[in-house]
Amino acid sequence: MNLTELETKTKQELVDVAKEFDIASVNGLSKHDLAMRIMQAEAEREGNRFSAGILDMANDGYGFLRTQGMRPSISDVYVSQTQIRRFALRVGDYVVGIVRPPKDSEKYFGLVRVDAVNGLDPEGAKRRPYFEQLTPIFPDEMVNLEEGVNNLSTRVIDLIAPVGRRRGTDARGRDCARAGEEARRGRAPRDGPARRDHPPDARL
């Protein structure tokens, strides 16, 4: 049983599981909080504890789950190089899992099992694309915000911070500015509709 499996259950099913672990006062809890309580109870039954934190990696390849923001503390959880490579963990990932108490020669808790990475199943999180490898989609049509002759605020937005869209998505960027420049010159931005001209006295 892991966190992702519990979150697929209904609220009543989670309540029934909580009763098996003798968890009290579950009526006012949300599904996520109830799943976390169940995971904590299961870990305590096995002699471990349930913890979560933001991954911070060292230059040597291992890392720590920072449980109090990004500042080091005695409650941090040690993450080995093997676990980082196995689940393709990255700096800044929010990792949830089972941890064990430190042994005699250890200082920090140790991560035993990874249950979720950024709210996703660990195996599914391994296939996340890298941001640098994503293909950007730039807008090719300008959205005209101006409406009426006397409303100059939306026209100022069109001049300074134009908004564009492409295939039903809204975006802002250099291509929007270029589309806005084409529209100000009286031309249609690429395949977009022609811009409606205002009287000379309404132009800025």
Q: Is 150 exposed, middle or buried (0-12, 13-18, 19+ CB in 10 A)?
A: exposed
pTM score:
0.59
CB 48 within 8 A of CB 99: yes
Residue 170 scores a pLDDT above 80: no
pLDDT at 66: 93
Q: Which pLDDT tens digit goes with each residue over 114-161? A: 988 988 888 888 888 888 888 888 888 888 888 777 778 888 888 898
- Largest alpha-carbon pair distance within the chain? 82
Q: Which pLDDT tens digit goes with each residue over 67-124? A: 888 888 888 999 999 999 999 999 999 998 888 888 888 889 899 889 889 888 888 8
Residue 203 scores a pLDDT above 50: no
pLDDT at 197: 47
Domain 1-46 in CATH 1.10.720? The answer is yes
Q: Which pairs count as long-range contacts for 5-14, CB under 8 Å and 24+ apart, including other chains? A: 6/35, 6/38, 6/39, 7/31, 7/32, 7/35, 14/38
Residue 198 scores a pLDDT above 50: no
pLDDT tier at 186 (50, 70, 90 boundaries)?
low
Nearest to 91 by CA among 116, 67, 52, 64: 64
Residue 8 scores a pLDDT above 60: yes
Q: Is 103 exposed, middle or buried (0-12, 13-18, 19+ CB in 10 A)?
A: exposed
Question: Identity (one letter) of the amino acid at 87?
Answer: F
Residue 23 scores a pLDDT above 70: yes
**What's the fold here for domain 48-132?**
OB fold (Dihydrolipoamide Acetyltransferase, E2P) (2.40.50)
Quote the mean pLDDT of the chain.
78
pLDDT at 18: 81
Distance of CA 58 to the CA centre of its chain: 23
Query: And the tokens for 19?
Result: 């009763």
- Ordered by start, the domain boundaries in the chain are 1-46, 48-132, 141-202
